[in-house]
Amino acid sequence: MSDERRQQKDRTAATRAAVLEATIELLVERGYAGTSTRLAAEKAGVSLGALQHHFRTKAELTVEAMRYVVDRLAQEFVSAIPKDGDEMDRIALALDRLHVVFRGPTFAAAMELHLAARTDETLLEPIRQLHIEDQARIRQSAIALMPGVENRPGFDAWLLMSVSAIRGMVVATMGVEEVEAEWQMLRAQLLDTANELLRQESA
């Protein structure tokens, strides 16, 4: 690849990343209804034409922004957990980090999209596909942190329960700052069930 083509590819990737980051910020600040391709272009410092070269509609833009940010978060999530040491300690760290991620702006942006999909048909199929991808990504991350545990009976049920419980608590306490006591109770229960899972023989 020539230097000119490489530079063009880098510029294209930089423009795309800037647009997607700007879109997530808009979803957090203004919600789905207040987000538009024009505003995303302005916030990213690119022309509307440049944005529409990559993303034709608001639905396509916002869903791809979520996919982009969640991919990055998943990589950061796995890299932040030690690969060795006591398995229960690593699971505890993973649950703590998951709780922090879900209480962050990315999850708030995701909630905006899911709520908007209730009344916007253009979002229904993209959100369904994004959900499938997210479930697979979470499973892959869990396996990377707990290699071999996926072969134990009940692994997928435990993972679904844990992620759903943390998400549910976060949604129920949105706007509430003092949630530490509630989190510690839920965390203890999830660790108890993880300990039971680890004691089982692999299938």
Work out the angle at residue 138's Cα, subtended by the Cα atoms of residues 166 and 70, and round it to the nearest 5 degrees. Answer: 90
Say what the pLDDT of residue 202 is. 62
Please say if the pLDDT value at position 3 is more than 90.
no
pTM: 0.83
Q: What is the pLDDT of residues 79-116, one digit of tens each?
A: 777 777 788 888 898 899 889 989 988 888 989 999 99
d(CA 99, CA 38): 33
Catalogue all structural domains in the chain, each as residue range(s) with its CATH number: 58-199 (1.10.357)
The tokens describing 22, both together, are 């700007």
The tokens describing 201, both together, are 């023989």
Please say if the pLDDT value at position 60 is more than 90.
yes
Q: Quick one: DSSP state of residue 150?
A: G
CB within 8 A of 151, min separation 6: which ones? Answer: 202, 203
